[in-house]
A = this chain, B = another copy of it.
Amino acid sequence: MTENKRTEHKRTEHKKAADNVVFVGGKPPMNYVLAVVTQFHNGANEVHIKARGRAISRAVDVAEIVRHRFMSELKVDNISIGTEHMQSESGDKLNISSIDIQLKR
């Protein structure tokens, strides 16, 4: 449970982006679930759950867990997918898929 209590810090650590955004990476889904719930409890009316590559599946898990276990009043307002162009360590171009799931009160 110590881990869960540190979620707030972890979120800041991930990426200090615009508020109302939770970037899902490789950690256990519950870390991100709590980050999303915290944002709503702090007054946000909508939260974007974003992820790239293999973390996309986890982003969907996070959205579903938030809606079904914690805040059943939330709706999926919009889901968009896209492709980001990145460079691998060896200098090759890489296309990586991304998702943005918007939950709304």
Interface residues of A (CB under 8 A from B): 53-57, 60-61, 63-64, 68, 76, 79-83, 95, 97-99, 101
Contacts and interface: CB of A to CB of B under 8 A. Distances in A.
A57 B97 contact: yes
Nearest to A79: B79
A83 B97 contact: no
B56 A60 contact: yes
| This protein's copies in its complex | 2
28 contacts: A53-B57, A54-B54, A54-B57, A55-B57, A56-B56, A56-B57, A56-B60, A57-B57, A57-B97, A60-B81, A60-B97, A60-B98, A60-B99, A61-B97, A63-B81, A64-B81, A64-B82, A64-B83, A64-B95, A64-B97, A68-B83, A68-B95, A76-B80, A76-B81, A79-B79, A79-B80, A79-B81, A81-B101
